[in-house]
Each structure stands twice: as C-alpha cells, then as structure tokens.
Amino acid sequence: RPAWRVDLSDFPPVAGEGVVFSPTEDQLRRLQEVSTILEEAPAEVILRWAIDTFFPKLTMATAFGPEGCVILSILARLEPRVHVFNLDTGYQFKETLELRDRIAEKYGIEVEFARPELSVEEYERQNGGPVYKTNPDRCCYERKVLVLKRKVVGYRAWISGIRRDQSPHRANAPIVGWDKKFGLVKINPLARWTKNDVWKRILAEEIPYNPLHDQGYPSIGCWPCTRPVLFGEDERAGRWSGTGKTECGLHLADDQPPPPPPTTYGN
C-alpha cells in the first residue's frame, strides 16, 4: 500500500525538553513499512509525504551543508513554511552565517538560529577557556544536542540531510525512522544519495552553497573543529581531526554506543 495510507496519527509531538516518548512495536513496524515503501522514492516524494503527514509539526535542522541546501531548495517548492533551524553554536564560520541570508534571498526561507543559553564569551568565561579544546564531547552536547532537544518540543518529526555513505555510523540510516534520542520521527530524504548526486543537483539548479567547499572543506562544522582535508582523505576527516571524535551526537544511530566519557585532548 502507498506510504500515504500508513496511519501515523498516533505519533505525538515531543511533550517537553528531554521528554522522550516510547513507541510501541506496532508503531515502529508502521514506520519501517513507510520507510520500505519510500526507499526508492525521489527526495521530492519523500518530502511531500513528510509534509502531508506531519506539517505543521514538522521541523528541520540544518548546518547549511550541501545536503541541507538541496533540501531547502525542494522545500521552497513544496512548502516553504516548514520550520527550519540552524544550531548556532557561536563558533560557526562567517561564510556559513552568510549562507543563511543567501538562502533567504533565493528561496524566501528564513532559517531560525537556535542558540545555547550562554554566549560564547560567557560559556568560555565560566569554564576557564574554550571547552572545545578540553572536552569537545561536552561542548557539542551543551552547544548542539541540548539546543536541539529544546527546539524539537512540539514537533512530531524532523528532517535531516544525512547520507548513508558519509560514514559507517550513518550507513544504516533509514528513510523514515524513530529517533530514540530526541523522541520523534526522523526523515532522511537524501539517505540514498551520493556526494555526487548532491553536487550535480547544486550545480544544475544553482543552489547557493558554502564557498568554503571550494577551499578544501568538504564537511563544515564549527571553525575550531574543522580543517580542510587532503587529497584522498575521507570527506569527514577534517572534523575534530586528531581527537578520535567523528560525530557531534545528533546523528548517532540507536545501536551506536553513546559518545565516550569526557576526555581531555590537551591544548
């Protein structure tokens, strides 16, 4: 049966910060059914289904990576009122912040900046210096994960731009699945796309993208934790380089162990 016929009306919105709903076996089975039906579908169809099923309780988090920009270009055609936010840690590159304005100008989508309670100055003052140097897991947790937990309150589903071939952690990402950590449905419309598919679309449609990609940065996060990659290196090799850390904690799979306990990486 078509994805539109699978009833997901009993998936509630996130009730409060850190309040995580536990779906029943039957609910999980229905999500899996939808995911299987949509496995081969184009991103436009997946997003159309997501909008029809969850809007206006549908949100999206973007770091303005190439995948996010492609999704925004599709949302602009399908439903530009979908709520979209960026986790503005206070450590983003200026090129990333400017991309928000270029997207707004081209597509009329105003991405909201979601910020931690403490400014960078205050956060560093209270911690005796930059936490990204001494404990990046904690820094990501406090400046990204906690902010996301707060932002998804009231929403039933979120859209992300992750691709299966980005890293082993993401290899099993379903098209539609249950996000155990944040307690809502997660939709990955580009899960099956390759990096090539993304860039072909960006170039064909002149979708705005981060100019740092042309300067050797295939994956862009916060400036203290991102370096350009060398020829032949993995596309995420420039993220938290030399620390052993590979993910900020937003997209860890359910079967993935939680991040290692806080470690001091030295200055």
Catalog residues that contact ligand SF4 under the rule CB under 6 A. 89, 91, 132, 136, 139-140, 143-144, 221-222, 224-225, 248
- The DSSP symbol for 127 reads T
* Least distance to ligand SF4, CB of residue 111, Å: 18
**Closer of 225 and 229 to ligand SF4 (Cβ):** 225
Least distance in Å: CB of 204 to ligand SF4?
Answer: 31
Q: Is 69 annotated as a binding residue?
A: no
Residue with tokens 């796309």: 193
> What is the C-alpha separation between 156 and 176, in angstroms, rounded?
13
Residues in the chain: 267
For residue 259, how many other CB atoms are within 10 A of its CB? 19
Q: Give the integer Cα–Cα distance in Å for 226 and 185.
A: 29
Q: Minimum Å distance from CB 101 to ligand SF4?
A: 21
Q: How far apart, in whole angstroms, are the C-alpha atoms of residue 175 and residue 170?
A: 12
140 is in an annotated binding site: yes
Distance (Å, whole) CA 153 – CA 29: 24
248 is catalytic: yes
Using the minimum distance from each CB to ligand SF4, give the nearer residue, 60 or 63.
63
Based on CB atoms, which residue is closest to ligand SF4, 59 or 226? 226
Residue closer to ligand SF4, measured from CB, 34 or 225:
225
Sort strands 176-179 and 184-187 into parallel, antiparallel or unpaired.
antiparallel
Determine the angle formed by the axes of helices 66-78 and 94-107, rounding to 10 degrees: 20
**Residue 13 or residue 90: which is nearer to ligand SF4 going by CB?**
90
Residue nearest to ligand SF4 (CB): 222
- Taking the C-alpha atoms of residue 183 and residue 19, their distance in angstroms, rounded to an integer, is 7
- SS3 at position 176: strand
Report, in Å, the least distance between residue 247 CB and ligand SF4.
10
Catalytic residue among 248, 250, 251, 252: 248
Cα–Cα dist 194/215, whole Å: 20
Q: What element of type H or E holds 236?
A: none
- CB 221, min distance to ligand SF4, A: 5
H/E stretch holding 100 reads helix 94-107
Q: What is the distance between the alpha carbons of residues 60 and 72, in angstroms, rounded to a whole number?
A: 9
Residue ranges for the known binding site for [4Fe-4S] cluster are: 139-140, 222, 225
Residue ranges for the known binding site are: 139-140, 222, 225
Q: Which residues are catalytic?
A: 248
